[in-house]
Structure 1
Amino acid sequence: MPEHAAGKSRLAVGLMSGTSMDGVDAALVRISATADHPKVRLVAFHTLPYPKEVEDQLLRVAGGEPTFAEGISGLNFMLGEAFAEAALGVCRKARISPKRVSVIGSHGQTIHHYARSGPLPALEFLGEFAKLRPELDATQRKFKRRNPEGEMYFISFDYGIGRKLLKALQKGKPVKDFWNLPSSHTLQIAEAAVIAERTSVPVVSDFRTADMAAGGQGAPLVPMVDYLLLRQKREGVVALNVGGIANVTVIPANAEAGQVVGFDTGPGNMVIDGLVRQFTKGRKSYDAGGRWAAGGKAIEPLLERMRRFPFFRREPPKSAGREQFGKPFLDAYFRGRGRSRPDLLRTATELTVRSVYDALERFVFPKVSVQRLIVSGGGAHNRLLVRRLRELLPQLHISLSDDYGLPVDAKEAMAFALLADRSLQGLPGNLPAVKECRRGEGCGRQRRSNQRAWREVFLPSARHPRSAEGFCRAELPPARPSSRPAGQRCWRSSRSRDGLRPRSWQRPTAPSATGAQPCPSLPSL
């Protein structure tokens, strides 16, 4: 039986799929020691890559292309199956039964994220708003002179609203009286109920939504883990994670939890990967080791123009995603550039490096003494990026998180295993100073397998025979005939009793006597 008590050694699985949208990372960890000073050891790490068609669908949805609720619902359940398989896969790799796992922490797959930041949100531009920028900037300056305390709001998604907003600003009309700005919102898919059912392990999910509900930004989510595992008594530390988006956790020497600061600095690999996909027409998705960019030269005028993007000037806490640095950003700054591909990639790489450098210089170094920079995430494999960080920040000792027992590829998945474990103990998973939360909150929502609950309620003794699915036969609904055409395939999980048989593609079968139904087909987007 899994052990849930704090202080005892226990196993947990963390599941993570980031803004790169290329697959699911699963980390099986052993957690021991106390809640304030936990020890986390990686037992096994496993990556389940997305098929290209799934990756393309996710990129289209996250990029804001029109879709249907049916398509998003289908992706939600399909990714739930994928996340469950990743969790079972990492258990198989470690030769450990899922029954020994106390909890699974699932971040899910983000397909949209919009976070307001502070009482004076910055003015930002997405896609077609780039053409409004000179006019809006001039009007903003005039408006601020007439209304020093006036509020300027985030603009997004609708060109018509942008035009109306421009007219309102020209008339000196307060924006808050003109437009009811939507509140912060975020959406992660990969249904946690599916993960709980397939694994029979309690699942903690909805970390971002829980944080936003408490008044936070919803990202970054790992500063609590960075604080617990990377703090130093005599040295200030910055933990830099370079995923699709780059984020930092700033931990002063001998810090208390309330002194820790965390925020997104801007693009990590997102802009680089987007260019690589464009240049190769989807055949490649990243610049391996930064070798392609290393053969080019940064385009300084373009770089300086991108560094003026308003997100970089916003005060922390702040978070970003594809809504800021996805396809609209690429179209606004890179489309139609008559320069070589290595030059454009070198410029995108330099944008990541300099946005990290600018964020530290502007928001961190004036307030905190820092001696160490610890790098993790996929960007840690980009030798050019790491070399440029060392050149721009010679005063810092720069190393990879591998040196601290946190492999660069597994660190975020390990973090969600620890956050889920804290949630199971009723402990907070975020830091108020990181996300503007009103207080430190317990992170995520817990889900348990209905199969386990039904066994507890309906199967107290051997008097009730079990079906192959573990349910009491008497409590199952009557089987319905399948409307699926004969021979059509479906993606479903096939597991033996110990839960260790891999998922496979199978032809659907007729409903069994126990009422098990064939999997529904996945609607296309």
Structure 2
Amino acid sequence: MVPLNQNLQKLFNIAQKTTKTGIGLMSGTSLDGLDIALCSFTGNGLQTRFKLLRFITIPYPQSFKEEVQQVFARRTADLEQVTLLNAFIGNYHGELVLKALLDWGMDAAAIDFIASHGQTIYHAPKRLHQRAGYPNATMQIGDGDHLAVKTKILTISDFRQKHIVAGGEGAPLALYGDVLLGSKAGENRILLNIGGIANLTYLPADGDSAKVLCTDVGPGNTLIDAVCRKYFNMDYDRDSAIANRGEVNEILLAALLDHPFFAERAPKTTGPELFSMDYVLQAQARSGTVDIAKEDLISTLSAFTATAISNFITANIKAEGLNVFLSGGGARNPFVVARLKQALANTRIADTNSLGIDPDAKEAILFALLGNEALCGEPIAIGNNPAVLMGKFSFPL
């Protein structure tokens, strides 16, 4: 028998381990920083058990944010900048992983794998681009080979492409982790992540996978953050301080909600390619609200996020005793959460701490879980969602 080469032998050995130690990396559309979740896993699929060992978000410097924003969610961009950033981000994320491990007093040799989401720069489902002959598409940069070589750790990356090839839109991938970690017999649950975009997974009490729904529902923090940067020189509305100084403009709110996306059947995906500053400015022009106070604009956009979410839940999820568990930056936005609780008065709303999952770490944990599945799992059929194992392997040597 011909022996396996060194990389394949190591991959085989890791896949056979009873307990694996992996790092999940998440860099979202808000460009706040890199979420790094160090996890241990036993089992796979519905038998998966995990423990969050360490978590940190390392903020990005303003210079890096500006570099990414040059190519982020733009139909036209500097191709050289995209190419350079693909390599740079892979190396940079590797440096941040090594920094985190150093701070935690851990050796890279103790880590079995890294599962990296990469940095989304453009999301283009067919419903959005509407170009004949072209499929659903999405692009995340931050090359896995660079990350693997930098850290000397096996790296799994570029998860979204297989989902698209199998008939999905490449998002939201939270479905698989939410089902494995968040389901509970006898309890109707929604796991709602309010990041740049808001997405949710409905987990029915009877465990019927045909009823599971995972979908984007509209903007999360992306518009609030964009207006904070533009008019207040702030990355986001900390503790809803700006929103609480303003008033919701109902005329503008109605204009913001007047888009075909909200009437489309789920599952569906979206991104800052649609929900951008241009979207806000066009809604203001249509509604004659260009001159409203900037505080009122933040209040209205915050209400827009909450209303889009609550409208979707009310219209699409008919379940008794519904429990909603929040994660993402929006879970720490008091204005948005209060509006949600007001609109969903008969629904219990808490954050994912109630499930033993750090709401800030949830997305990074889910990608670590996808990495574990890529190593030792089998495709899982969940309703009509693609049953695939996702991720591309990059070896450190």
2:224 paired residue among 272, 284, 289: 272
Cα deviation for residue 181 of structure 1 reads: 4.7
Post-superposition CA distance 1:161-193 (Å, at most 9, x none): xxxxxxxxxxxxxxxxxx735321111101110
Contact kept? 2:71, 2:78, Cα under 8 Å = no
**CA distance in 2: counterparts of 1:210 and 1:57, whole angstroms:** 28
Change in Cα spacing, 1:203 to 1:257, as seen in structure 2 (3 Å) is farther
> 1:501 matched to which residue of 2?
none
Flag structure 1 segments of 5+ consecutive residues without an equivalent: 122-153, 157-178, 452-525
> 2:192 matched to which residue of 1?
240
> 2:111 matched to which residue of 1?
101
1:384 paired residue among 325, 335, 344: 335
2:37 paired residue among 27, 43, 55: 27
> 1:448 matched to which residue of 2?
395
> 1:358 matched to which residue of 2?
311
Change in Cα spacing, 1:293 to 1:61, as seen in structure 2 (3 Å) is same
Is 1:297–2:307 an aligned residue pair?
A: no
Identity of aligned residues (%): 30
> 1:345 matched to which residue of 2?
298
Post-superposition CA distance 1:358-402 (Å, at most 9, x none): 11112222xx44520000001111111111111111211111111
Contact kept? 2:36, 2:57, Cα under 8 Å = yes
Cα deviation for residue 22 of structure 1 reads: 2.4
**CA distance in 1: counterparts of 2:334 and 2:295, whole angstroms:** 15
Cα deviation for residue 10 of structure 1 reads: 1.9
> 2:145 matched to which residue of 1?
193
> 1:399 matched to which residue of 2?
350
Contact kept? 1:423, 1:429, Cα under 8 Å = no
> 2:368 matched to which residue of 1?
417
Contact kept? 2:45, 2:380, Cα under 8 Å = no
Question: Residue type matched to 2:196 in 1?
Answer: G
Cα deviation for residue 344 of structure 1 reads: 0.6
Question: Residue type matched to 1:447 in 2?
Answer: S
Contact kept? 1:274, 1:330, Cα under 8 Å = no
**CA distance in 2: counterparts of 1:212 and 1:403, whole angstroms:** 32
Q: Which moved more, 1:56-65 or 1:308-317?
A: 56-65
Mapping for residues 458-473 of structure 1, pairs under 5 Å: none
**SS of the counterpart of 1:188?**
strand
Cα deviation for residue 211 of structure 1 reads: 0.9
> 1:494 matched to which residue of 2?
none
> 1:469 matched to which residue of 2?
none
> 1:39 matched to which residue of 2?
49
> 2:325 matched to which residue of 1?
374
Note the aligned Cα RMSD (angstroms): 2.0
**CA distance in 1: counterparts of 2:80 and 2:321, whole angstroms:** 49
Mapping for residues 476-491 of structure 1, pairs under 5 Å: none
TM-score under structure 1 length normalisation:
0.70
> 2:3 matched to which residue of 1?
none
Residue-pair matches, total: 384
Question: Residue type matched to 1:73 in 2?
Answer: T
Flag structure 2 segments of 5+ consecutive residues without an equivalent: 1-9
Cα deviation for residue 9 of structure 1 reads: 2.2
Change in Cα spacing, 1:239 to 1:404, as seen in structure 2 (3 Å) is same
> 1:183 matched to which residue of 2?
135
Change in Cα spacing, 1:431 to 1:90, as seen in structure 2 (3 Å) is farther
> 2:268 matched to which residue of 1?
318
Post-superposition CA distance 1:490-520 (Å, at most 9, x none): xxxxxxxxxxxxxxxxxxxxxxxxxxxxxxx
**CA distance in 2: counterparts of 1:431 and 1:84, whole angstroms:** 33
Post-superposition CA distance 1:119-141 (Å, at most 9, x none): xx4xxxxxxxxxxxxxxxxxxxx
**CA distance in 2: counterparts of 1:232 and 1:103, whole angstroms:** 29
TM-score under structure 2 length normalisation:
0.91
Contact kept? 1:15, 1:27, Cα under 8 Å = yes
**SS of the counterpart of 2:31?**
coil
**SS of the counterpart of 2:214?**
strand
